[in-house]
Amino acid sequence: MDIIYHCYGGTHSSVLAAALHTGVISHRRPPEGDRLINLPFLDTQDGGNHGRLYFFGKDEHGNKVYILGRRRDVEALTLVLNGALNEAQRVLLVNALPCVPLLLKLGGYISRRLKLARVGRPLVCAGLRRAYPCLHELVYRVKLETCEA
């Protein structure tokens, strides 16, 4: 199965969710700032990367885990993926955006849109730590669903 964590920019909440899912980040406690900033793809994508699927890794069951920035186009995302993928291929789309607190949105905007990473990244890290419990629960539910499937 292919699991795609998606959010607005594909650079913060979907990355942390994919890191949790693949075991790159521990499920025991939220990671510290340096560990967060060094995650693959974290706070690196911009508008030119939206709509591109990025392979993050595999989980313990061999499921492929991806991240995707899709802006506001959830319905378009579903249509495109359903049309582009082989019908025999199983894909699970997981929206990480509901876990994003205002602090993370603000930090991401400052870092990515205004290109002021020095100012925005500390806010991104604080926002991701706040989002951690929600993302942890989301990944837990996805893993339960994919184990039973």
pLDDT of residue 73: 66
117: which 2 tokens? 């990473």
d(CA 46, CA 10): 9
Cross-strand bridge partners of residue 4: 66, 93
Six token digits for residue 145 = 């669903």
pLDDT of residue 28: 83
Tens digits of residue pLDDT in 41-52: 998 877 777 778
- For residue 36, the model assigns a pLDDT of 87
Predicted pLDDT at 9: 86
**What's this model's pTM, rounded to 2 decimal places?**
0.89
Q: Which residues in the chain show pLDDT less than 50? A: none
**CB under 8 Å to 131, separation ≥6 — which residues?**
13, 16, 99, 100, 101, 104
pLDDT of residue 148: 66
Q: Report pLDDT for 129.
A: 94
The CA distances from residue 138 to 16, 31, 38, 46, 120, in Å, are 11, 17, 22, 25, 25
The ranges assigned to domains in the chain are 2-98+135-148
| 41 contacts 13 by C-beta, under 8 angstroms | no
Q: What is the pLDDT of residue 48?
A: 72
